[in-house]
Amino acid sequence: MGTRRIFLKRAGFSTLALSLPFAETLSAMNFERDDKILRVAIMGLGSYGTRVAEAMVNCQRAKLVGVISGTPSKVETWKQKYGIPDKNCYHYDNFDQIKDNPDIDAVYVITPNSLHKPYSIRVAKAGKHVICEKPMALNAAEGQEMVAACKAAGVHLLVGYRMHFEAKTQEVVRQQRAGEFGETLFFQGLSGFRIGDPTQWRLNYELAGGGSMMDIGIYSINGARYMLGEEPTWVTAQEVKTDPVKFKENVDETITFQMGFPSGAVASCLSTYSLNNLDKFFLNGTKGFAEMQPSTGYGPIKAWTNKGPVEAEHITHQTTQMDEMAAIILDGKKPMIPVDGEEGLKDLVIIDAIYKAVKTGEKVMIS
C-alpha cells in the first residue's frame, strides 16, 4: 500500500483519482495514521478558511483531512479539491461526533468571533486539539472559559497568531531581546483597512463582538507585546466614528489607544476600518530602531533596522504556522513567541480594557 501511495503521488494522480470509483480507497490511504503528521479539520470554509487550506497543501507536518461547514455545496467542493472522504465531513449540528473519528487530531475554528467559544469548547469536549482564529473570544471571561475547558479535556488550545512564526518578525524580536536596540521605550502600531460590504458579519455586533478592534486592531495590541517583550499595565483610548450608519452602536470604526509598560515604555496605536495603507510597526530604542511595513499582511513582510534591511525568505504564513503548530502539539516544541490560550487571553484582557477606556474616558489599569 505504501508503494501505491508513493506511485500515485509521484505520478500526479491525486486530483484525477478523486474522480474515479476508488476515490474513497485513495482517501483512506492518504489519511492513514502517522504520528508525525497533525491531521486537521477546518471549521468554517469562508475566505480565510480557504487561504489556510491552500497553504496547508505545502505543509510538511500538517494535513487537511476534514471539514465542518453549514454549507453543503462548499463541503462538496472541498471534498473534490482536497480528497476528503465523506466520513470526515461534518456540519455544525453533528460535529461532536468527531470524538469517534480517529482520523482527526485537531480542528481549526475559523468562524465569526461569537462562535469561537462555544465551538472550541465542543471540540475540546470531543477530545480534539483546538486551533482558534483570533481574537480567541469576545472577551476575557469567554477566553478564560476556553482555556479551562481545554485544560480539563487535556487538549491543546492554540490561537492563529501566524505572525509569531514569520521569519522577519522573529528576527526583529530576537534583536530586541538581545538588546541590540538598547532600551526599547516606544512602539507604534498602525493597523487598518477600508472595509467594504456593510452587510458582512464583521460589521454585525452579535457576530463580531465589536468592530475594527475585534479584527485588525488586535495586531497592534499583540505586536506591541511581542516587540517590547512586556505586558502593559494601563491603557487609554479614544474612538472616532464618521459613519454611524455603517458602523452601528458598539461597532467601532476607529480607535486610537495607548498602552504603558512596567519599564516606562509606551505604545501608541491605531485600529481602523476607514483607511487603507495602515500596516506598520515601529520600535524605537536607545541604541537603534526597527520598522516594518507591511508588518502583518499576508506578505512579503518588509523590515529594516538602523543597521539595514532584515532579510529572510518569504514563506506563506499559514504554511509555516500549521507546521509549527504541529510541532507544538506533536513534539512539545516551545515557540519563540507563545501561541497558546493564555497568550490569546492576554490580548482579550487588553481589548476589554480598551473598550472600557473608550466608554469612560479614563486610564484603565490592567492587573
Q: How many CB atoms lie within 10 A of CB 360?
A: 11
**Helix (H) / strand (E) containing 269:** strand 266-272
Q: 212 is written with which cell numbers?
A: 475594527
The 8-class DSSP code of residue 133 comes to P
- What residues contact residue 180 under an 8 Å CB cut-off, 6+ apart? 287, 288, 305
Query: Catalytic site residue 48?
Result: no
Distance of alpha carbon 200 from alpha carbon 265, whole angstroms? 37
CA 9 to chain centre: 31
Give residue for cell 460590504. Answer: 197
The catalytically annotated residue of 134, 168, 280, 346 is: 134
Distance of alpha carbon 340 from alpha carbon 87, whole angstroms? 29
Closest CA to 111 of 39, 192, 196, 201: 201
Give residue for cell 462555544. Answer: 118
Distance of alpha carbon 89 from alpha carbon 98, whole angstroms? 9
Query: Catalytic site residue 219?
Result: yes
Q: 115 is written with which cell numbers?
A: 462562535
Closest CA to 210 of 147, 257, 158, 262: 257
Q: What is the CA radius of gyration of the chain?
A: 21
Distance of alpha carbon 266 from alpha carbon 184, whole angstroms? 9
Alpha helices in the chain (DSSP H): 2-11, 14-17, 23-30, 47-56, 72-82, 116-125, 140-153, 167-177, 205-208, 217-228, 317-331, 341-360
The catalytically annotated residue of 82, 90, 119, 219 is: 219
Query: Do the beta carbons of residue 104 and residue 88 sit within 8 Å?
Result: yes
Closest CA to 131 of 340, 355, 359: 340
Distance of alpha carbon 116 from alpha carbon 347, whole angstroms? 15
Q: Count how many residues are written for the chain.
A: 367
Residues serving a catalytic function are: 134, 219
